Amino acid sequence: MAAHVKVVARFRPAQVQGESLRSGDDAVIVEHHDTQSVRLTRGSDAVFTFDHVFPMDTTQAHVFDHSIKGTVNDVLQGYNGTIFAYGQTGSGKTYTMMGADIQDDHTRGIIPRLTDQVFQGILHSPPTIEYTVKVSFMEIYMEKIRDLLAPDRINLPIQEDKSKGVRVKGLSEHYMSSPDEVYDVIRRGTGVRVVSATRMNAESSRSHTIFTFTVQQRNTETGATKSGCLYLVDLAGSEKVDKTGASGQTLEEAKKINRSLSALGMVINALTDGKSAHVPYRDSKLTRILQESLGGNSRTTLIVNCSPVAYNADETLSTLRFGVRAKSIKNNARINAELSPNELRELVRKAHTQIHTYQSHIKQLETEVEAWRRGESVPMDAWTSFLGEQATSSKDASASAAVAQEQRLIDQNRSLEAELMQVRWKLEEVQMENRELKELADTAPSREAPAEVRVVETPAPRTSREQRVEEMLQALEGRQVALEPVMACMKPLLLACRQAPDFPLRMDQLEWLEEEILRTHMALSEQVMSTRIATQEMSVLQKQKQALESRNTALQQRFDLITNQIGALENGLRVGEEGAVQLAELRHMLEEHSSTHLENTSSETLHLEQLLAIRGEETVGLLRSLEDLKASHEEQRRAMTLLSAAVVRGDERGPDPACVQRLVDASRQMEKARELVTLRLREYERLKERLMEGLRERSERVVDLEMELEAMQDEYRVLLRNMDFGTQQRKMAVIERRLEQLMGVQQRLIEQNTTLKRDVALAEKRLASRADTIEELEWRLDAQNVDEAWDSSTEAHARIAKPLRGGGAESTSAATPQTARRWFFHA
């Protein structure tokens, strides 16, 4: 039956973490009197309508009675159900689902109250109904599924089964028989759930948790079964980083939470917009697990938890809009029932009756159609009526025919049972005769011949059994296994075949012998298979051994080669030791002479270059002085020209005294300059002569050195001819190559040694880290000894199905806790 998702809204009180409503402007909600709508005073003027709106002062019991109790009753009737809380962080989702105290009637949440109602419903059910209740508890943290009842099971995969639907592979399920056992499971799971403190919530849930109730019921009279599964989902709250102050790991958790909730919103949008052909259930593990809860076979209730303060107005508005969209989802819930054998037989009987009716109607129609085809006319009162009209008239006839057929089958069954009883009686009579014949054979040996005749008269069954045994023995021949069990089974068979009188072995004896043979054959197959596996393992080990031997041989050859090279090098060095010493001395002398000659030549060349540079500078100075003299000479020439012209014209005034004086001064300066130039030229000539003389001396020394060098080279060549230097050079080249090879081997060995040292250091660090990890794990193991002891004592007990029978309403006190015990949550 199609039905919309049930959506209720709940507003938590404002007195949380220092928040307060100082005036009416601080509140963002205005509840209407019909308790089904709410309007915000800030952010939007829209009115949001839900199935129910719970104000801030609503108690836990009121929320459960008006929104959850019906879903629990549906689960007991065989429907699937889902209840999940949605809202921003710190809006009271975990408080709504779990409560502050599991034993306090005022503050306990939906899950404890639901647990009590489930067991109360079982107690008030008819005594012919047998129930089994099992639970599971998991969380989705950072998009990884973890079993909270077995915390070591992390990152469990999701699988889809055609019969069971979407399920989490490897998730542990525990059978429950009382509410107290369920409370213990909740404490264990909640104790390992991931929580963290933020600015908005001191115990903020960092994961989505899903608590599952599975109730299976069976009618002990009819055999009919029904099952209902209830998902209780506590979603992690959506967060704004600027408000929560999340950073580091908390920030990464917030990203995963918001992404998962966004995927949930996308699924709801795809289900409600009427346009999407694809619903993205696989975008998140949360939506994948809750696939049947959103648009599938489930009766779903959504609780939207909101904050009433203006500081969270935007988040409250977003939460209410989410609830309105979710309310548009339609689910097709149906009872998960399996028919009993009697009901199936009744359906088969009805189907056979309908088939018989259809066949008779078809025959009538075919007869009438054939008559019309032949051109005959069928009277109207003989026309075949429609099947719907015949149903009312032939219903009684078909029912009576079915009853008669059933009565015939019952009579036939009774007759067969009577015949079976007669056969059994005859078998007992034959067995009694057999015993009598055995007694007669023991007491009267004279009657052995007639007995042998009777044995010969019936050889066929016994011979066939002997042949069958021989075939089995031949099939087992050649197998390298122990055949004692087979022979132990065959001996009674052969003995019975040879010693039996004229009656066959009993069927139970033959069946037992065949079972023993089959078990022995299975043992034979297992031993052959184990032999093959052992042979394969031996071949693999043999290959590894050969590889290690070849590697060892290669290393030994390499070691021998290096040893031989070292010995040859030592022999070569001993043979050419004297010639090598002379050659080294001669080479040393030649190198010293050449280096001395080069140093002297380079120093003298440098000295000459410096002198040439100095003389170049002096030449430049002389050229400048010459230019000055030329300029002065030109000026004197012009003055003399002017003076000569004045004398020729016969100027009465005569020459200018200033001009004459300049001319005299210029003549004096020119004379001095001439003397200076002459002096410098003389110095330059003397310097040039000394320089040329030094060059001649150095040239002579260079010639002498070259002659000495040629003489020493001649001596060196003579010495080489005397020492057979070619052979020595080849030996030295071989020795040098071997030395280079040894140096390369040494370098590789050094590198390998360095690598091994580095690997050893790294291995030591890893070993130390592993030792620290082992110590830490041992400490944790010691710290969890109590929990592990409890788990080991109750895990096997939890996997045992605990059937619960209805009809115990008078002992309802057994399902209700008597003493108030505090648990993990605190107010």
Q: CA angle 65-67-73, nearest 5°?
A: 75
**Hunting for tokens 């057979």 — which residue is that?**
724
Task: Please report, to the nearest 10 degrees, the dihedral formed by the alpha carbons of residues 430, 433, 438, 442 taken in order.
Answer: -170
Q: Which two tokens stand for residue 794?
A: 């109750």
HEC string of 343-404 equals HHHHHHHHHHHHHHHHHHHHHHHHHHHHHHHCCCCCCHHHCCCCHHHHHHHHHHHHHHHHHH
Sign of torsion over alpha carbons 700, 703, 709, 711: negative
Distances from the Cα of 413 to the Cαs of 407, 416, 427, in angstroms? 10, 5, 21
Q: Cβ distance 71 to 299 under 8 Å?
A: yes
Distances from the Cα of 677 to the Cαs of 621, 632, 674, in angstroms? 10, 14, 5
811 is in an annotated binding site: no
Which three-class secondary structure state does DSSP give residue 27? strand
- CA–chain centroid gap for 111, Å, is 32
Measure the CA–CA gap between 611 and 694, rounded to whole angstroms.
Answer: 11
Sign of torsion over alpha carbons 302, 305, 311, 313: positive
87 is in an annotated binding site: yes
Q: Cβ distance 308 to 16 under 8 Å?
A: no
Distances from the Cα of 161 to the Cαs of 166, 167, 328, 394, in angstroms? 6, 7, 28, 45
β 225-234/81-87 pair status: parallel
Measure the CA–CA gap between 130 and 177, rounded to whole angstroms.
Answer: 12
Q: Cβ distance 330 to 42 under 8 Å?
A: no
Q: Which two tokens stand for residue 346?
A: 């009744």
89 is in an annotated binding site: yes
- Total Cβ atoms within 10 A of residue 708: 12
Residue 815 is classified by DSSP as G
Which three-class secondary structure state does DSSP give residue 386? coil
The sheet that has 29-31: what strands, in order across it?
A: 29-31, 37-40, 47-49
- Of 165, 184, 178, 173, residue with least CA distance to 212: 173
650 is in an annotated binding site: no
Measure the CA–CA gap between 318 and 736, rounded to whole angstroms.
Answer: 85
- Of 155, 289, 157, residue with least CA distance to 231: 289
91 is in an annotated binding site: yes
- Of 3, 2, 9, 93, residue with least CA distance to 324: 9
Measure the CA–CA gap between 215 and 4, rounded to whole angstroms.
Answer: 24
Task: Please report, to the nearest 10 degrees, the dihedral formed by the alpha carbons of residues 738, 740, 743, 745 taken in order.
Answer: -70
- CA–chain centroid gap for 444, Å, is 83
Conformational region of residue 17, where left means phi above 0, alpha means psi within -120 to 50, and beta covers everything else: left
Q: How many residues does the chain have?
A: 827
β 336-338/195-196 pair status: unpaired
- Residue ranges for the known binding site are 87-94
- Residue ranges for the known binding site for ATP are 87-94
